[in-house]
Structure 1
């Protein structure tokens, strides 16, 4: 073999067998490890320390990690996450698992908790929620990284916003909502999601427009029912809407005659 030729040139014959054994071990160690030789981290839970906050509050989020593998997960840190949205928790303490930290060890078959601490931003008050979302990994790999991610949300109540939009029929087929194309009598209902205890309904006027005011900011289910003789052109009449304090997202509801 080419390796034995190199060995003979470099050492004496008496040491040949010993060196060959070491060479074989070197080749074996470079072989890919099987899944049973790797850790298997999973995020089992992600929780804020309170259900509700106000802008400027301190908040903590605890991740519980479990290693289902037979090998310790070493130097576990955050490997991905953070969208940059203004309603994310502004982390000030990464709990030793930040992108530049040394990380922690999660022993095989055991769990470990990691707590991130930060401040609720003013952007959270605008949308009614604060979020975190991160993935974890160890320096020595993972046999299944599909479950290494965890996210959580908490409410930031108090602000209100509006929801508005227009229903129309594109009579001239130009792909635009032109003056005079509004359709009256379309029922628009919003139902609060998560912990928003609010339901409200409006009908479009002669110009096709509707307006709902005083809605707590946050996520809503949007239900649309055209009057008899009309159908929504797209969708089944159930969608979603996001109400924000300082923004106005226009809802466009295109309808077509049912016959």
Structure 2
């Protein structure tokens, strides 16, 4: 998926050492116990930025031993099973092979080694817009006291879909028009993908988005504020579900700023709207909206406040996506 890349952080998973070693651990360890979570640094990169289902992906795995002692029999396992998880086996990962007759990688203290590996991109990854690999590392003799897992992710182009949602008055469930919603790609740069506003019934729709995960952020109309935060992770494709932004009467305190990289949004002007529209209804800045009952409507003098403070959230979300997970042995 060229857009909507879902870069997930490694998720902590607690597994027993016997499960992580796949039964390869010998009763007696040849090495002193070592915490691989503290001593090992691994980066995994895909050879291409985007793939199609059925492609064979080549990965580069760079391993650094930051510990004071050499490591013997370093290896990793295998992956697959999730619809967008790379199907791979360590027998295709060079020295990191974990099969019984393979010695595993030997790496000295302070040394960095690089190997190549391959895996199959499942066809179902197109439903998610991405493919990922999650690789746990361990020692074949079972002497590691902690097994870190490292991740990498790449786009899978293919399917597109729609993203829908509604701005709702939390008091009575009525739709509220005039909320500004922006969709950001989940990546290091977090670029803005599209912007729209909620219609008279509170509903908004983004069409033709590539499958994948996004961050949807919103600013309520003038005189309203969010009750559950101002952003939510969204998905197009297999994980798709409608979004609901719950708002209530009250000042949001967010100044107007046109979101960088998004289609232009006209800033507020001095001319109040005369009719309800699904677009942005500008009004005079700094004026106080008349008090209304919570009917789900909006004040006649509607001031859409901008996405300025939300931009920081869009850029910060998923800022370090290739992390590692600690797996206590």
The reply to whether TM is greater than 0.5 is yes
Matched residues in 1 for 2:235 and 2:118: separation? 27
Taking only aligned residues, the RMSD between alpha carbons, in angstroms, comes to 3.3
Name the structure 1 match of 2:311: none
**TM-score, normalised relative to structure 1:** 0.71
Matches within 5 A, 1:14-53: 41-53=39-51
1:33 Cα deviation from its structure 2 partner: 5.0
Retained in 2: the 8 A contact 1:230–1:255? yes
Q: Which has the higher contact order (CA 8 A, sep 6+)?
A: 2
Deviations 1:124-171 (A, max 9, x none): 11121110011211125347x47x432111111232111101111133
Distance of 1:59 and 1:121 partners within structure 2: 11
1:90 aligns with 2:87: yes
What is residue 153 of structure 2 aligned with on the other side? Answer: 153
Say yes or no: does 1:108 pair with 2:145.
no
Measure the CA separation in 2 of the matches of 1:135 and 1:199.
Answer: 34
Matched ranges for 1:187-206 at <5 A: 187-194=180-187, 199-206=193-200
CA–CA separation in structure 1 for the residues paired with 2:132 and 2:157? 14
Post-superposition shift, 1:94? 3.8
Q: Does 1:62 align with 2:44?
A: no
CA distance in 2, matches of 1:71, 1:197: 43
Cα distance, 1:91 vs structure 2: 1.4
Q: What is the aligned counterpart of 1:253 among 227, 245, 251?
A: 245
Q: CA deviation at 1:103?
A: 4.6
Check whether the contact 2:81–2:87 (CA below 8 A) recurs between aligned residues. Answer: no
How many pairs does the alignment contain? 217
Counterparts in 2 of 1:168 and 1:153: CA distance versus 1, 3 Å? same
Quickly say closer, same or farther: Cα 1:53–1:116, change in 2 above 3 A: same
Does the C-alpha gap of structure 1 residues 170 and 141 become closer, same or farther in structure 2, counting only changes over 3 Å?
A: same
Q: 2:210 aligns with which of 208, 216, 220?
A: 216
1:197, distance to aligned residue in structure 2 (A): 6.7
Cα pair 2:128 2:239 within 8 Å, conserved: no
| TM-score, length-scaled by structure 2 | 0.57
Could you say which structure has the larger radius of gyration?
1
> What residue is the counterpart of 2:175 in the other structure?
182
Q: Which has the higher helix share?
A: 1
Kindly indicate whether residue 119 of structure 2 is the aligned counterpart of residue 125 of structure 1. no
Is the contact made by 2:63 and 2:112 (CA closer than 8 Å) also made in structure 1? yes
Q: 2 CA distance for matches of 1:91 and 1:33?
A: 30
User: Structure 2: which 5+ runs fail to align?
Assistant: 1-27, 252-329
**Structure holding more strand per residue:** 1
- Quote the offset at 1:88 in angstroms: 0.7
Equivalent-residue separation in structure 1 for 2:190 and 2:153 (angstroms): 14
